[in-house]
A and B are shown apart, each in its own frame.
Chain A
Amino acid sequence: MDAYLAAITIIALIYMLLSLGLTLQYGLTGLINFGHVGFFAIGAYTSALLSLQGVPLALSIPAAAVTAGLAAWPIGLISLRLRDDYFAIVTLGFSETVRLVITSEKWLTNGVQGIPGIPRLFESISVGIGAQLAVMGVLLVVTLAAIYAMRRIVASPFGRVIEAIRDNEEALQALGKDPARFKIQVLILGSALAGIAGAFYAHYITYIVPDQFIPLVTFYVWMAIIIGGVGRVSGAVVGTGLLMLFLEGSRFLRDIVPGVSEVEMASLRIGVVGLLLVLFTIYRPQGLMGDFTKR
């Protein structure tokens, strides 16, 4: 039971990092990134491949952040020239293309067979769930640092500028600020967070295949921040908690209700994600933690 709780806490923290990245990009800056899972995948594969080459994890995880951030740079340059909805389509296409590349480039990624035997964090600790607790501790520190950084950003001049980009880009330009630089920075930062999340994911699960990086993951994260409240750091936290409750709860539900197969449950899960996205968009666009004075 303790091992189980530690396991879902770790997964929840990984999703939390993803949600924070998206909150920075969409919630605060208004950039519709539908390709979040692409950067998650880049981080996961970078750190996994490096560590299998003998690079210590203390270097491979930051490297994952760097490659994911670098991958976001061209996407950021593109975002400057596109309207919101086109940018959404381009990012969705980007994440699918990333998945195609990792499926096809067998020499590097072993294709659909995936990469097994990725080293764990704290492999040397073999006492009970000691290693898991240590992983949890590190992730917790990283996540808290990210939350702290986000709160600082919101309160800083940088935060005011990116929120202004979301609310009224023209007005911001009229005030002599150049949104371009800020947009690119935000995309790189958010994607680097997704890359870190991917690295932790790879070293925790120890086995990655292209199928783990489908767009559904992106929309899990979207669901989390929409339910929690777009543009709020607390929203990302609460939303991720509810997302985990939903993902794990649906697993338990299958044990309680007999006759539901795993594939049916998978369908049901997609259906509930869809329903929640629709209902929240219509009835609670500000989410649970959102600002109720505005609409």
Chain B
Amino acid sequence: MIYAQLAVNGLVQGLVVGLGALALTLVFGIARFPNAATGDTMTFGAYAALTVHKASGSLVLGSIAAVGGAAVLALVAYLAVFKRLAGRSVVSLLVASIGIGFMIRAGLGIAFGHQQQVFNVPLSRPIRIAGLAINPLDLQLAVVAAVALAAVFAILYLTPIGRQMRAVADNRDLARVSGIRPERVMTAMWLIAGGVCAIGGMMLGIKTVVAPEVGWDMLLPIFAATILGGIGSPVGAVVAGLVLGVAQEVSTPFVGFTYKIALSFVVLLAVLLVRPRGLFGRIEGVR
């Protein structure tokens, strides 16, 4: 029973990891580099939501502000930096993304200070379903995440721009010769990735605390989920995020609070060495 309860608790954490991994996998699949600024973009989303929530008292307004702000931030980072580095080695892009992450974190640290802040959400009594205690807040967060995921998957699989994005992810040159404009695809992709990060960051902030380094600390689980899910696979990223979130919580009684984070590293290594294409990834020649 205790494990079932832990698994339920892990689901929300898993959604946070899954959202981050979704953003990372979109960038990895389409722009072809691991974006280390993903975590800090989440932090940005958390602060944007927190600020608007404090001012207006509405989480809905908060999430809209977070999505909008982080989407613009991601697009600016693309236009100002990543676009100029197109055609350079993966290392250049990776190092630049770390630089951008640092700049975001520095900006947030200067603007909001280093004290941990919390969302003032009303406490509520857990609902009991089949003997499991479920926090209504968790349920709300799960709904928010589900809506965000539904929106992203609808864009990816039901709209022309989504189809173009998947085409570019599949084969960039083929996409280009069939008349897909990379510029538009990239713009859409960065906006979506930023928005997804913001939702994840906001959920993380509501569940735990908001501080300048919370997003960066999520980077390892996010990378692990992205690779476990298979790079470039949006479904895989979300599923792997959930698996990892649940696994972290369920493992806590055995390994303790600190080492549950190391679980991501173990998963990351195991997947890379045993099955580098992950659960849902396509077979790639290189790894």
Contacts and interface: CB of A to CB of B under 8 A. Distances in A.
Interface of A: 32, 78, 81-86, 88-90, 92-94, 96-97, 100-101, 103-104, 219, 222, 226, 263-264, 266-278, 281-282, 285
Given A83-B286, A86-B227, A268 B106 contact: yes
B85 A97 contact: no
Given A89-B268, A263-B114, A274-B100, 15 more contacts: A78-B273, A85-B90, A85-B91, A86-B287, A93-B223, A93-B264, A96-B261, A226-B95, A266-B109, A267-B109, A274-B102, A274-B106, A277-B99, A277-B102, A282-B84
B106 A281 contact: no
A271 B40 CA distance: 12
30 contacts: A84-B91, A85-B34, A85-B94, A86-B276, A88-B94, A89-B223, A89-B268, A90-B268, A93-B220, A93-B268, A96-B265, A100-B258, A104-B258, A222-B95, A263-B109, A264-B109, A264-B110, A266-B109, A267-B107, A267-B212, A268-B110, A270-B109, A271-B102, A271-B103, A274-B106, A275-B99, A278-B81, A281-B92, A281-B99, A285-B88
Contact of A78 (B34, B84, B223, B269): B269
B273 A275 contact: no
B157 interface: no
A267 B84 contact: no
B259 A100 contact: yes
Contacts of A282: 81, 84-85, 96
Interface string B8-35: 0000000000000000000000000110
Interface residues of B, number: 46
B98 interface: yes
By DSSP majority rule, is chain B's interface helix, strand, loop, or mixed? helix
Contacts of B95: 222, 226, 277, 281
Contacts of A270: 102, 105-106, 109
Nearest to A87: B272
A96 B92 CA distance: 22
A276 B106 CA distance: 13
Please provide the 6 A-B residue pairs with the shortest distance between their CB atoms, ordered closest to farther.
A271-B106, A274-B102, A267-B109, A277-B99, A274-B103, A278-B99
